[in-house]
């Protein structure tokens, strides 16, 4: 509300509020106008212009439904007033008369002191009006506001269904933290979703609320919500990474921690587990995982790609605390002149966000080809750490065999793991998994059970990446030995 108050007291003729919570925005504006003792009007295309008294009761009948008529009325009104114009965006795009009338009102501010507030889900300010205008962000509900909404919705459920709400206090704390960053109306919708199905608030509600919250942001295609995040015990090897993350979990989740970790870059061999590890970070920290698709980010129109990136990063901030995963980051940031400088502008946008963000968004970037990444991204301080994910050693390969066999309800204890581990030297985790899958299909075709020999046959039939791309992997290992930490 402070931003709205500042606009209404700072001699700014035009204000823009982009929000889906029109009701809340109008209530706040009417409350401020009442405190300033200024008349307050609300206009919609359906109901026309209405004036409200100090109790928000309509004191003037609907009139002036046409945009040009209401703007003429405002222009002629002698008493300094606040005019709330809802969903005016269709009537300002390419409408010279409407733009001119709004500009007349703004130019006469010294005489009339009218403030026009445009409320819409999206509103582009014409160039002719930008010098008179100010964008305002609607204040998001505080923890106390959210707790009050939870209490109201719990009382509503009790009055409708009878009985009492069952509440897990830790789950309630997580729920309040999860729904931060969206408007009052959306908070009420999310809380109602958690309560009304079973009258219980527990840990099972949090993932569903995260999913519903993300869907409210409408960023599918560029920013996606990843389901089925892995737990770290389902990831073979990577002991250093697991230890590093375990030591920093509390610091990241503590809102008062000023030195909280901000992100890691994982480079290494394809199929060695970088993407799996990125998913496991979210699983270890019990956070939602968002994936940024650089392929969907790029747009042929000048400036749109950077705008898409800024929107995606802003939406990730709304989802805090969360993990933001950028897979194969080199594909979106490879510098060159063939794209008219778009990749350089995207890099600049990303670096600025990485340096200035205050929200709890932990960035996990993965890369297969470190040589394609710009040096600005790799310098110390951009990421908390750069981890090298190498091909799994014997202990990690044993864990990978156990994980993938057990995941498919095949008892790993029945296999000669020592022999399988020895035979799979140089294999990545993904290649070991595919060998097991191929052995299962072969067993089904032969109407028999999966055994050591079937898996060994698949391993012998596979040329692992460590053989096919031996020179490139050797070069990558040399580079990583002096610049990264082994995961």
pLDDT, tens only, 128-145: 898 998 888 777 777 788
pLDDT of residue 300: 46
pTM above 0.85, yes or no: no
Q: Compute and round to an integer the Cα radius of gyration of the chain.
A: 29
pLDDT, tens only, 165-190: 777 777 777 777 777 767 777 777 78
Residue 427 region, left (φ>0) first, then alpha (ψ -120 to 50), else beta? beta
Are residues 276 and 237 part of one domain? yes
At 98, the pLDDT band (50, 70, 90 cuts) reads very high
pLDDT of residue 37: 87
pLDDT of residue 104: 92
Are residues 398 and 259 part of one domain? no
Are residues 35 and 91 part of one domain? yes
What's 78's domain CATH number? 3.40.50.300
Are residues 244 and 189 part of one domain? no
Residue 225 domain flag: no
Residue 25 domain flag: yes
**Structural domain ending residue among the three candidates 83, 111, 135:** 135
Residues 6+ apart with CB under 8 A from 117: 7, 14, 15, 16, 17, 29, 82, 83, 84, 85
227/321 Cα distance (integer angstroms): 16
Residue 483 domain flag: no
**Structural domain ending residue among the three candidates 117, 135, 153:** 135
Are residues 362 and 261 part of one domain? yes
Q: How far is CA 345 from the centre of its chain?
A: 21
pLDDT score of 161 more than 60: yes
Answer whether 466's CB lies under 8 Å from 432's CB.
no
Are residues 163 and 126 part of one domain? no
**Structural domain ending residue among the three candidates 119, 135, 151:** 135
Residue 475 domain flag: no
* Number of domains forming the structure of the chain: 4
- For residue 409, the enclosing domain spans 394-468
Residue 175 domain flag: yes
pLDDT of residue 370: 73
Segment 420-427 shows an average pLDDT of: 84
Handedness of CA 75, 95, 307, 314 (dihedral sign): positive
Segment 347-372 shows an average pLDDT of: 82
Residue 174 domain flag: yes
pLDDT score of 375 more than 50: yes
pLDDT, tens only, 266-306: 887 776 677 777 777 887 887 888 888 776 666 544 456 77
pLDDT score of 53 more than 80: no
Residue 372 domain flag: yes
What's 459's domain CATH number? 1.10.8
Residue 413 domain flag: yes
β 289-292/223-226 pair status: antiparallel
């Amino acid at each position: 509300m402070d931003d709205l108050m500042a606009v209404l007291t700072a001699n700014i003729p035009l204000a823009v509020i982009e929000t889906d919570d029109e009701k809340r925005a109008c209530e706040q504006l009417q409350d401020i106008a009442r405190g300033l003792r200024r008349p307050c009007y609300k206009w919609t295309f359906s109901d026309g212009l209405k004036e409200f008294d100090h109790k928000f009761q309509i004191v003037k009948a609907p009139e002036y439904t046409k945009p040009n008529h209401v703007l003429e009325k405002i222009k002629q009104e002698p008493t300094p007033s606040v005019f709330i114009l809802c969903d005016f965006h269709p009537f300002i795009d390419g409408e010279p008369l409407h733009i001119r009338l709004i500009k007349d009102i703004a130019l006469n501010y010294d005489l009339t002191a009218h403030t026009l507030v445009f409320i819409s889900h999206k509103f582009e300010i014409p160039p002719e009006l930008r010098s008179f205008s100010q964008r305002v962000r609607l204040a998001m509900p505080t923890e106390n506001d959210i707790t009050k909404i939870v209490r109201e919705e719990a009382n509503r459920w009790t009055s409708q269904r009878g009985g009492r709400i069952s509440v897990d206090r830790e789950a309630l704390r997580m729920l309040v933290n999860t729904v931060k960053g969206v408007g009052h109306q959306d908070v009420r919708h999310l809380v109602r979703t958690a309560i009304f199905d079973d009258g219980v608030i527990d840990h099972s509600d949090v993932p569903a609320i995260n999913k519903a919250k993300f869907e409210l942001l409408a960023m599918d295609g560029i920013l996606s919500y990843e389901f089925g995040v892995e737990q770290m015990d389902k990831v073979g090897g990577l002991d250093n990474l697991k230890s590093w993350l375990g030591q920093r979990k509390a610091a990241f989740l503590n809102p008062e921690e000023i030195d909280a970790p901000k992100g890691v870059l994982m480079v290494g061999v394809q199929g060695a587990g970088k993407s799996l590890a990125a998913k496991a970070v979210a699983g270890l920290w019990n956070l939602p995982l968002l994936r940024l698709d650089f392929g969907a980010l790029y747009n042929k129109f000048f400036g749109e790609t950077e705008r898409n990136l800024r929107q995606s990063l802003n939406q990730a901030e709304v989802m805090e605390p969360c993990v933001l995963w950028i897979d194969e980051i080199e594909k979106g940031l490879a510098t060159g002149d063939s794209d008219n400088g778009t990749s350089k502008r995207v890099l600049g946008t990303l670096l600025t966000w990485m340096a200035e963000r205050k929200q709890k968004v932990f960035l996990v970037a993965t890369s297969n080809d470190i040589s394609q990444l710009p040096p600005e991204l790799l310098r110390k301080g951009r990421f908390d750490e750069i981890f090298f994910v190498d091909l799994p050693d014997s202990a990690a390969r044993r864990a990978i065999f156990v994980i993938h066999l057990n995941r498919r309800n095949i008892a790993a204890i029945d296999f000669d793991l020592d022999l399988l581990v020895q035979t799979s030297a140089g294999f990545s985790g993904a290649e070991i998994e595919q060998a097991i899958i191929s052995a299962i299909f072969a067993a089904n075709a032969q109407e028999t059970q999966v055994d050591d020999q079937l898996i060994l046959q698949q391993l012998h039939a596979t040329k692992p990446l460590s053989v096919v791309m031996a020179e490139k992997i050797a070069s990558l290992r040399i580079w990583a030995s002096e610049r990264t930490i082994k995961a």
